[in-house]
Amino acid sequence: MTREEHKEIRELIELRVHLLQTLVEENIQSASNTTTEGWPLSPKDPLPSVEQKVIENAQHEILELTQTLIWLDTEHAGLCEQCGNAIELDKLKSAPTNRCCAYCTEQNSLETIGKS
């Protein structure tokens, strides 16, 4: 991974974290709002747990992204955790929390299909 690629992925992750934090804040506000006005989902099923779920998912992703930022500063940055080969840059850009190269991801999914 070049210095430019490293920077690009880091910025991508930081932007994503920022967006998720905004999403969490919006949902916390929305959850504390007692009216269902402007409810984006099904109005006949106004479950507060939907917002709770969104918040939980977002917070989970923030955690993963934060760990990825730490990973980017290690000597293993950009390397597949299974085979040690460089992870494709396009793959890292589309899914920065992915720690496997395309080959290993395919092998893993084949294995999962085989097991089920």
Q: Does 104 participate in binding Zn ion (rule CB under 5 A)?
A: yes
Residue 82 engages Zn ion in binding (rule: CB under 5 A): yes
Q: How far is the CB of 78 from Zn ion (least distance, A)?
A: 12
**Residue from 13, 80, 98, 99 binding Zn ion (CB under 5 A):** 80
Beta bridge partners of 86: 79
Question: For the purposes of burial, counting CB atoms within 10 Å of the CB of 78, is it exposed (0-12), middle (13-18) or buried (19 or more)?
Answer: buried
Which amino acid is it at 65?
L
Stretch that binds Zn ion, among 4-12, 24-32, 48-56, 82-90 (CB under 5 A): 82-90
Q: Which residues contact 10 (CB under 8 A, 6 or more apart)?
A: 69, 72
Site size toward Zn ion (CB under 5 A) is 5
Nearer to Zn ion, 27 or 105 (CB): 105
Interhelix angle 48-72/3-32, rounded to 10 degrees, is 160
83 binds Zn ion (CB under 5 A): yes
The residues binding Zn ion (CB under 5 A) are: 80, 82-83, 101, 104
